[in-house]
Structure 1
Amino acid sequence: MQLKLTLFSALAALAAAQDVSKIPDCSLNCFVDNFPLSGCKDLVDFKCSCAAPKAYQDAMANCIVGHCDNDGIVATVNWVSATCASVGVPWP
């Protein structure tokens, strides 16, 4: 729970870069739970997480597919793509 509060606080600080309110609820826990696999030091270091290892990307994909319906999956992919583009890191 503390990690989620930290994530929300940090994400709020970066709202100008990308509208974090558009992260679907179904995928939010995927970002938090799989964060250790990213190798990043900060939950909102999107430049790092967008370039994270394949193990992180695979874990995220599996989690999102397992927790979101089709609309949630599409919304999450769109959010990630836009966020990564906003920090100059192409996302597969």
Structure 2
Amino acid sequence: MQFQIIATAFLATLCAAQGAPDLEGLPECAQSCFVDNVPISGCDDASDFACLCGSSEYINSVTTCVLVESGCSLTEALEARGWAQDTCEEAGVPI
């Protein structure tokens, strides 16, 4: 149990140091969809939302993941969509 806590803290620190995207406000069930599909986008930085939002392949993969694979409820999926729309709008690339 202690090992898991230490490992989790280490991984969280490592992700923060590597420019991991800020997913605050995104339902937890959808977070892996946004992170795991970054390679599909062709973007170099997982926190470059302007690049991510401009990638139709990324947007389509994330959408499929949230709706089909994530286990999110309909309410959570709608929250994830709203989060994505707001985040992309803030990055200057409305979806």
TM-score above 0.5? yes
Alignment map for 1:8-27 (pairs within 5 Å): 9=16, 10=19, 11-12=21-22, 20-27=23-30
Q: Which structure would you say has the larger RCO, counting Cα contacts within 8 Å and 6 or more residues apart?
A: 1
Letter in structure 2 aligned against 1:56: Y
Tell me the residue number matched to 1:32. 35
CA distances 1:46-81 after superposition (whole Å, capped 9, x unpaired)? 0000101x3222211110002111111111000010
Any stretches of 5+ residues in structure 1 without a counterpart?
Answer: 13-19
Letter in structure 1 aligned against 2:78: V
TM-score, normalised by the number of residues in structure 1: 0.76
CA distance in 2, matches of 1:87, 1:56: 15
Q: Which runs of 4+ in 1 moved over 3 A?
A: none
CA distances 1:3-28 after superposition (whole Å, capped 9, x unpaired)? 9x52xx2335xxxxxxx320110111
TM-score, normalised by the number of residues in structure 2: 0.74
Aligned residues: 80
Q: CA RMSD in A?
A: 1.9
Secondary structure at the residue paired with 2:78?
helix
CA distance in 1, matches of 2:47, 2:35: 11
Tell me the residue number matched to 2:93. 89
Tell me the residue number matched to 2:58. 56
Letter in structure 1 aligned against 2:58: Y
Any stretches of 5+ residues in structure 2 without a counterpart?
Answer: 1-7
